[in-house]
Structure 1
């Protein structure tokens, strides 16, 4: 799975002019399932993100995890993280998991993150969404479960 996580002071996702998910301070997590990913992959990624020390402690150092700060996560499906831009100018997305598999893994990822003690709001899989966030830092991290 791939994910881009952004530390946010606040964030929301809107579908059809209606806010369907929002958080105060925490992380916006854009997540993409890739071929070969399974529930174990989703759980490992959720665990990694829940433990990443991306938030400032009293000394101003990034030493606290999302769970330690009591922050929330806004999880949004993002198949474009699988973009192949190696040929031409139009990205290809055949590297993303098939929609039925991707949706199940996206929902499993969000549910597992919640079992780890992180309050979770989500977007709507497959919908045309508008994501708004107040990027805090900015802190933006890219994760790939296949990366060494």
Structure 2
């Protein structure tokens, strides 16, 4: 499982020019799954994301977490995080989970995030989406398990 986490002032996701998810302050997550991901992987990622402290408690000191600032999460499925670009000029995606498995894991991941009490908005799995966001910092964290 791979996640690109970006701290944002606000973020939204649209499908067919219609906003389907939006948040104010919080995290925008790009989430991709590999074929070996399971519930233990999801639990580890949920714990790491929801306990991350990257909001400032005072200038220059990141000491607050998402719940401390009443932040939210915009979760976007992103199989291209598993792109293999070592050969040729076109990416291969053979290391990404199959769509059926990835969709199930994505739904479970978002349910587990919500179970922590954090507000979670999502994109639409498998759709062509447009993501609009205002990076804060910027702060970008990469997770892989």
- Same fold flag (TM > 0.5): yes
- 2: CA distance between counterparts of 1:136 and 1:47? 22
**Is residue 70 of structure 1 aligned with residue 70 of structure 2?**
yes
Using the size of structure 1 for normalisation, the TM-score is: 0.95
- How far apart are 1:58 and its partner, in Å? 2.8
- How far apart are 1:47 and its partner, in Å? 1.1
**Is residue 113 of structure 1 aligned with residue 113 of structure 2?**
yes
- 1: CA distance between counterparts of 2:126 and 2:11? 19
Deviation beyond 3 Å, 4+ runs, structure 1: none
User: What SS class does the counterpart of residue 102 from structure 2 fall into?
Assistant: helix
**Is residue 18 of structure 1 aligned with residue 18 of structure 2?**
yes
Unmatched 5+ stretches in structure 1: none
Using the size of structure 2 for normalisation, the TM-score is: 0.97
- 2:102 alignment partner in structure 1: 102
- 2: CA distance between counterparts of 1:3 and 1:76? 10
- 2: CA distance between counterparts of 1:76 and 1:34? 15
- 2: CA distance between counterparts of 1:4 and 1:15? 21
